[in-house]
Structure 1
Amino acid sequence: MIVEDSLVVRRLLAHIVSRDPRLTLVAAVASAEEALRELPRVRPDVISMDIRLPGMDGLEATRRIMAEQPTPIVVIADSVEDASLRISMNALRAGALSVVEKPVGMETGGHERIAGTICTQLYIMSQVPVIRQRSLGAARPPQAARPEALAAPQPPALLAIAASTGGPPALAQVLGALPADFPLPVLLVQHMGSAFMEGFAAWLDGLVPLAVGIAQEGEAPRPGRVYVAPGDRHLLIGPGGLLRISGERPLASQRPAATLLFRSVAEVVGPQGLGVLLTGMGEDGAAGLAELRRAGGLTITEHESTAVVYGMPAAAVRMGGSSLSLPLPLIGPRLVQLAGRRP
C-alpha cells in the first residue's frame, strides 16, 4: 500500500512499484485516514508511508497502525527538510522499519538508484514479522544473563555499537541509559541511506545524554561522545587511536559495515574493546564481533525477545561472537556497569 498525498509522487511510486516483479500494488491512497480505513480490507504486506500528510501525519498514522493492525512500514521522506527528518526518525521510534529518500521525478539524477532502493526496502521489509508494540521493560533476561556472567578482564577503553533494521529506536534506548559523563568514546554504525545520516545523528543528539555527531577523519575520540559513521562510508579506529573514514568498497553490500568497525576495534584495543550488536537483517557485524571476542574484548548481542529482526545478533551468536545476550532494556545499564570498572 502506498500512502502519499501528492498525486504526482503517488503515481510515480506506483510506477516504480509496478516495474518490480517482486511487488504488487494493492492500494494507493492520499491520506492517513484513508489508509486506516483500507488497511483491514486490503491487508498489505508492507506500507510505503509519506510523512507530511494532510490531517493525520505519517508519524501518528504509524503509531495507529502499529497499535491496531501491525504492518511493516517504510517511511518515504524528503531528505533535505529538517522538520521532515525529525518526524521520520520519530516514526522509526514509533515502529516504522526503515526510511528511504522520496523520488522527485523520472528525469532527475539518481532516480534509478532511489527507485531501486525503494523497491528493495519494500520487498525486504515485507518479510519482517511485526507485533504490537510491547513494553520492553517487561522482557526477562535469558538464563545465561546473570550479573556474574560478564566481567571485563581489563578496563574498557572504547565502545563500538551497530544496528540495522529497527536500529534507531534500539540505539536511542541503549544510549539513553548512558550518563553524560560515560567514560568511553562510542563509535556507531547504523545502516541507513546516506541522505539521512546527518538528520539521524541530530535526532539522536536531541534524545540521549551523550553528545552525538558525525565522525570526522583523523578525529581523536573523546569519552562521553558518540561518533556516527557518515553516510556511505566505513567508520574505523586507526592504529594511532584516531578515527578513520574509509571509502573502501562495501562489505557484503554494506557501507558502513559493522564488521569492519568491530574488526578495527579488535586490532587496535583488543581486550579493552566493548562491542554491541543490535537488531538487524542479515549478518553484518557478526564476523567482526567474533574477531573482537577472540581478541579478548567483551561482546553483547541483543536477545531475540526484543530484537525487531534477530538476523545480525543471531549470526553473531552462531559464530561464537557473543559473550552475553541481553534484552534491550538491560544492555545500557550493563554497559554502565562495565565501563565503571576503571583502574
Structure 2
Amino acid sequence: MIVEDSLVMRRLLAHIVSRDPRLALAAAVASAEEALQELPRVRPDVISMDIRLPGMDGLEATRRIMAEHPTPIVVIAGAVQDESFNISMNALRAGALSVVEKPVGIETGGHEQIAETICTQLYIMSQVPVIRQRPSIAPRLRPPLPDAAPRPAQAPAVLAIAASTGGPPALAQVLGALPVDFPLPVLLVQHMGAAFMEGFANWLDGLVPLPVRLAEEGTVPKPGHVYVAPGDRHLLLSPQNTLRLSLEKPIASQRPSATLLFRSVATAAGARALGVLLTGMGEDGAIGLAEMRQAGGYTITENESTAVVYGMPAAAVRLGGSSLSLPLPAIGPRLLQLARKEAFG
C-alpha cells in the first residue's frame, strides 16, 4: 500500500513498484485516514508511508497502524535537513522499520538507484514480523542480568556500537541511559541511506544526554561523545587513537560496515574495547564482534526478546562473539556499570 498525498508522487511510486517483479501494488491512497479505512480490507504486506499528509500526518498514522493493524512500514522521506526528517525519525520510534529517500522524477539523476532502494526496502521489510505496539510510555529499565562471562580484565577505553533495521529507536534507548559524564568515547554505525546520516546524528543529539556528531577524519575521540559514521564511509579507529573514514569497498553490501568498525577497535584497543551489536537484518558486525571478543574485549548482543530483527545479533552469538546477551532496556545500565573505572580497582 502506498500512502502519499501528492498525485504525481503517488503515480511515480506506483510506477516504480509496478516495474518490480517482487512487488504487487495493493492500494494507493492520498491520506492517512483513507489508509486506516482500507487496511482491514486490503491487508497489505508492507506500507510506503509519506510523512507530510493532510489531516493526520504520517507519524500519527504510524502510531495508529502499529496499535490497530500492525504492518511493516517504510517511511519515504523528502527533504532530509528540515523538521520533516525529525518526524520521519520519530515514526521509526513509533514502529516504522526504515526510512528511504523520496524519488524526485524519472529524468532526475540517480532515479534508478533510488527506485531500486525503495523496492528492495519494501520487499525486505514485507518479510519482517511486527507486533502490536501500545501507546508510547517511558520504558522501565530492568536491572542487568547476571553475567554469562567474566567481567573485563581491564577498564574499557572505547565503546563501539552498531545497528541496522530497528536501530534508531534502539540506539536512542541505549545511549539515552548514559549520563553526560560517561567516561568512554562512543563510535557508532547505523545502516541508513547516506543522505540521512547528518539528520540522524542531529535527531539523536536532541534525544540523548551525550553530544552526537558525524565522525570526521583525524579526530581524537573524546570521552562522553558519540561519533556517527557518515553516509557511505566506513568508520575506523586507528592504532594512534584517531578516527579514520574509509572508502574501502562495502563489506556484506554495507558501507559503513559494523564488522570493520569492530575489527579496527579490536586492533586499536584490544582488551580495553567494549562492543555492542543491536537489532538488524543480515550478519554485518558478527565477524567483527567475534574478533573483538577474541582480542579480549567485552561484547554485548541484544537479546532476541527485544530485537526488531534478530539477524545481526544472532549471527554474532552463533560465531561465539557475544560475551553477554541482554534485552534492550538492560544494555545501557550494564554499559555504565562496565565503564566505571572504580569497578576495576
The bucket for the TM-score relative to the shorter chain is over 0.9
TM-aligned CA deviation for residue 80 of structure 1: 3.4
What's the counterpart of residue 165 of structure 1?
A: 165
How far apart are the structure 2 equivalents of 1:127 and 1:164? 15
Are 1:320 and 2:305 counterparts?
no
How far apart are the structure 2 equivalents of 1:69 and 1:96? 13
Are 1:256 and 2:256 counterparts?
yes
TM-aligned CA deviation for residue 341 of structure 1: 2.9
- Give the alignment of 1:289-308 within 5 angstroms: 289-308=289-308
How far apart are the structure 1 equivalents of 2:252 and 2:332? 28
Are 1:185 and 2:173 counterparts?
no
TM-score, normalised relative to structure 1: 0.97
Contact 2:174 2:328 in 1 (8 A): yes
TM-score, normalised relative to structure 2: 0.96
Tell me the alpha carbon deviations over residues 256-277 of structure 1, each in whole angstroms, 9 at most, x when there is no partner.
0000000000101010000000
Q: Aligned pair in 2 of structure 1 residues 272, 198: CA closer, same or farther (>3 Å)? A: same
What's the counterpart of residue 85 of structure 1?
A: 85
TM-aligned CA deviation for residue 138 of structure 1: 7.0
TM-aligned CA deviation for residue 132 of structure 1: 1.2
What's the counterpart of residue 16 of structure 1?
A: 16
How far apart are the structure 2 equivalents of 1:302 and 1:178? 17
Tell me the alpha carbon deviations over residues 300-326 of structure 1, each in whole angstroms, 9 at most, x when there is no partner.
000000000000000000000000000
What's the counterpart of residue 102 of structure 2?
A: 102
What's the counterpart of residue 217 of structure 1?
A: 217
Moved more, 72-81 or 131-140: 131-140
Report the 3-state secondary structure (helix = DSSP H, G, I; strand = E; otherwise coil) of the residue aligned with 1:162: strand
Task: Report the aligned-residue RMSD.
Answer: 1.5
What's the counterpart of residue 152 of structure 1?
A: 152
What's the counterpart of residue 30 of structure 1?
A: 30
Are 1:62 and 2:65 counterparts?
no
TM-aligned CA deviation for residue 136 of structure 1: 9.3
Number of positions where the alignment pairs a residue of Structure 1 with one of Structure 2: 341
Moved more, 255-264 or 130-139: 130-139
Tell me the alpha carbon deviations over residues 134-187 of structure 1, each in whole angstroms, 9 at most, x when there is no partner.
679579789xx3157451210100000000000000000000000001000000
Tell me the alpha carbon deviations over residues 72-130 of structure 1, each in whole angstroms, 9 at most, x when there is no partner.
00000013341111000000011000000000100001000000000000000000000
User: What are the ranges of 5 or more consecutive residues in structure 2 without an aligned counterpart?
Assistant: none
TM-aligned CA deviation for residue 282 of structure 1: 0.2
TM-aligned CA deviation for residue 294 of structure 1: 0.2
User: What are the ranges of 5 or more consecutive residues in structure 1 without an aligned counterpart?
Assistant: none
Are 1:267 and 2:267 counterparts?
yes
User: What one-letter code is carried by the residue in structure 1 that aligns with 2:210?
Assistant: L
What's the counterpart of residue 232 of structure 2?
A: 232
